[in-house]
Amino acid sequence: MSRPAEAGHYKEGDLMTPVFLFLLLWPIGASAQQPAPARSHVAVETIAARPEDVTTIDGIVKAFYEVISGPAGQPRQWSRDRTLYRPDVRFVAMSVRDGKPGAHVMSHQEYVDGSDASFVKNGFFETETRRAVQQFGNMAHVWSTYESRAKADGPITDRGINSIQLYFDDGRWWIASVVWDEERPGNPLGQYETK
């Protein structure tokens, strides 16, 4: 699951929080301050899950990719997407900055708010190229290799792996969490290439 990079992240306790910067610069020229761009909020309606999306692992993984894929100008299926996850699902996007690994942890709403504008403006298609499933009783782990494109038939922009943790309860599968990392120099897909 790829997502646009976000600017302006800070960790709790960082000295240069937006409030600190405002207080530091306000006496110098408050009238010259430009407000930070507001992050768009996408309202996600609550709907019932489609049985074909959640009764099998194949169905839920298929829906996982379908809901975020589409051409420029087409709204994404965020309401359908939300039905795939437990309410407190966590998405974890792995990255490397300055040679150090980092994790960006998001709720479903944070993922939607951070991704929607770019997906709709530029188009975004993510397809599964390989899958490995481990299941024990009512829990499962899906190791899903993906390719991302701006257009369905366009060049590949990203490749990586989605690590999807699921459990079966109340007659359906639920995604508990998703962690992903992208291919990059020093982190090739290698044995997980398309087959």
Residue 147 has pLDDT above 60, yes or no: yes
Q: Report the distance separating Cα 192 and Cα 195, nearest Å.
A: 8
pLDDT of residue 25: 37
pLDDT of residue 195: 59
Q: Report the distance separating Cα 47 and Cα 87, nearest Å.
A: 13
pLDDT of residue 84: 98
Residue labelled with tokens 């990079």: 5
The first and second tokens of residue 82, run together, are: 């939300």
CATH number for 51-192: choose from 3.90.1150.10, 3.20.20.70, 3.10.450.50, 3.40.50.720.
Answer: 3.10.450.50
Q: Where are the domains of the chain?
A: 51-192
Provide the β-strand partners of residue 147.
127, 159
pLDDT of residue 51: 98
User: Mean pLDDT across the stretch 56-81?
Assistant: 98
Residue 32 has pLDDT above 90, yes or no: no
pLDDT of residue 194: 64
Mean of per-residue pLDDT scores for the chain: 85
User: Mean pLDDT across the stretch 69-94?
Assistant: 98
pLDDT of residue 40: 87
Whole-number percent of the chain with pLDDT over 90:
75
* Sheet of strand 172-182: strand arrangement: 100-106, 85-97, 172-182, 156-169, 139-149, 125-136
C-alpha separations of 122 from 23, 45, 188 in Å = 37, 23, 26
